[in-house]
Structure 1
Amino acid sequence: IILAMFIAIAAGMSAPYLLLSAQPGWLRFLPKPGPWMLHLKQFMGFLLLATLLFLLYVLGAQRGLEGAIWVSCFLLVISVACWMKGAFAVPTASAAKRGLVLVLMLLLVIGSGVYFIGDKFQSAKIASADSQLRGGWQAFTPERLQTELEQGRTVFVDFTAAWCLTCKFNESSVLESQDVREAFQRHSIVKMKADWTNGDPVITKLLQQFGRPGVPLYVLYPGKNQEPIVFPELLTKSMVLDKLESVMHTVASQ
């Protein structure tokens, strides 16, 4: 899926050039330069801000809310520095004034970077994995998995990460849907999340054992001494429900 995404991005970005090179006459269909270009540029700025929000969300998952706040403070200082350059270091200003503004900008950015990123951010406390889980999910550990299997339970493990968009799509549209949640509860399946947001080496080793370079990975452990069942990267409700019914029927008949 990751490779397909990058191939699609490359194809989408190169397709207009290839098509217009093959059919130069199509250039007449392109819009003429005008005020719309400024509006488009401004709109793209909002998309960049949305990207920033997503990255701050990922950072919050990695370093906690406190870490995201300190990085936001640093970004605010950078914004002030950019404003200083645009307001005071204009081309018509004297060389001395522009130089003074540049020095102040550097001192402001470097000083805030040392304070917010080098000190506050590094000391930010990371919330425990258990405190961030809801809906009956447990934090994955090999020991916890083994304990549940020893007690004869069936375990479903969701290998995920905060920055994984495919994981988020599968979780919101399938794993957290009412039908699937009821199926997990009906069959008394233990649900665990293996959070790979920070590149946990234990989870990395398990991903490698299943031949996966990264997340998402979904594994159903039917029970002790039974082969785990690996799901595809992209889930559907019908697929998960059918697989759960099939596996649990097999387990019950043994």
Structure 2
Amino acid sequence: MKINRHIFTIALLLAIIFNYCWVYSQNKNNASNYLGIPSKAIIRSQNDFVTYSDTVSLKEEIPPAVRSKMKSLIKGSDYSENNLVFKVTYSSSVFIYIFKTYSFSIVRFYLIAYDAKNDRVSTISPSINGKWMENNEQGFSTRLLSEPLVEFQDFDNDNRNEIIIKERVHNGTFYNAVISNYFKFDKDLEFKKVFALESYYKTPIDDCIIRRTLKGKKVISELKCDSHDFSPVGEADLEFSRNVRIKSKNSIDEKYKGLLITGSGLNETVFINKGYSIAY
């Protein structure tokens, strides 16, 4: 009887050890599979995201479907422990997860829509270049970004809010600007870029700031130099259909006639439809 008891005890211990090893290996594999993908999202009270380290806001577990989508977006060099996720509320049951990834000197923000009611995620995940936004535009003498960095607005009056996400762009000394990227967001959780507004532009010659706002179907451009207030320099009439088209432009100050849409040097029509994709 004693021998049988010893055999039983040994068998039980071996079973416990085997089970522990199996569980450990599974957890290790799961952790490895989701390397670089945070398990929790930052939820800011402002319903926004930031470009610096936020260690005080609440955090919430990320749904498995969203983490799986994030896994499909990153490649080998993107598996950084610095990657972050922000959760922004679009409606009572739909949320936008903003996935910030690092890959050497490249920083990107991906948009992932999630329907909590039906546990669905968006197929397409557009992204913006976050390199020049990092740590509140660290390294720039003039900061152009202002919060909120993400907004919701029904700019085309179809009773459904578009998603507007700001992007800091930079190219040498000649181009420094903020672009407001407008994305349509349909009931199938799909994103489509519909407009790009160069909302702020720093002129390289006189070191002034041009501010642009979209009012109805007009882009209003205003100029600020030194300590003076913003004053109008012109406007552009747009037509929104399948693609955005510039109908007319009216310049108040001839000096800035060529800057009523963008200072990027790109074709104006291409810019307002696609934005600025040059990144380095």
TM-score by length of 1: 0.23
More helix by share: 1
Question: Relative CO higher for 1 or 2, CA cutoff 8 Å, sep ≥ 6?
Answer: 1
More strand by share: 2
TM-score by length of 2: 0.22
